[in-house]
Amino acid sequence: MTAPDLHQAASRPTVMLVEDDETDQLIYKRVIARSGLLGEVVSFYYADEALEFLKREDRQKIDVIFLDINLPRMSGFEFLEAATIELGEKFAKAVIVMLTTSLNPKDRARAGEFKVVKTFINKPLTAENVHDVVALLERDKDGSPV
């Protein structure tokens, strides 16, 4: 086994995971880590706490956000609305991935109303989904992280 390349690890995209289910969080963190394509995962169970984190000046940059739709206290859609207003242009350039178990086509349509939502994934998050998200990040390199 070789030692990890710290420069390479530091250059991988940083992920924010907003998911209220503890088991899903553990699984998704493992899927992300095993892909080797994404870097550190900053996770939150509540969207309002994730939003407060994004407002902080002293935090690391976030390259991609995996956002559950159905969350307690503040839904994924409410998070998108608030973040768009409160973070403005910085947030508009983020790569947002909506995660859901919902089969309701209205949820997909509503997610599509937000320009910041780059893709919509039915749970569970898979290695193939991670590869697709990394491809989105590559295409969106001119945007700046939040």
The tens digit of pLDDT for each residue in 23-49 reads 999 999 999 999 999 999 999 999 999
Instruction: Specify the long-range contacts of residues 104-112, CB closer than 8 Å, at least 24 apart.
Output: 107/69, 110/77, 111/69, 111/77
Q: What is the β-pairing status of strands 15-18 and 41-44?
A: parallel
Question: Which of the 8 DSSP states describes residue 38?
Answer: -
In a domain, 7, yes or no: no
Q: Which residue has the higher pLDDT, 81 or 3?
A: 81
Q: What are the b/e assignments for 30-47, b being 16+ CB within 10 Å?
A: ebbeebebbbbbbebbbb
In a domain, 132, yes or no: no
In a domain, 10, yes or no: no
In a domain, 123, yes or no: yes
Helix (H, G, I), strand (E, B) or coil at 3: coil
Residue 7: the pLDDT is: 39
CATH number of the domain within which 45 lies: 3.40.50.2300
In a domain, 39, yes or no: yes
Cβ–Cβ < 8 Å for 5, 30: no
Residue 103: the pLDDT is: 85
The answer, as to whether pTM is greater than 0.95, is no
Question: E strands, 69-106, where?
Answer: 95-100
Structural domain boundaries, residue 62: 15-102+117-127
Both structure tokens of 121: 């994934």
Please state the domain count of the chain: 1
In a domain, 83, yes or no: yes
Sequence letter at residue 14: T
pLDDT band at 145 (very low <50, low <70, confident <90, very high): low
User: Residue 98's CB: how many other CB atoms inside 10 A?
Assistant: 26
pLDDT band at 10 (very low <50, low <70, confident <90, very high): low
In a domain, 142, yes or no: no
In a domain, 65, yes or no: yes
pLDDT band at 1 (very low <50, low <70, confident <90, very high): very low
Please, which residues bridge with residue 44 across strands? 18
Taking only the tens place, the pLDDT of each residue in 67-116 is: 999 999 999 999 999 999 999 877 877 789 999 998 889 998 999 898 88
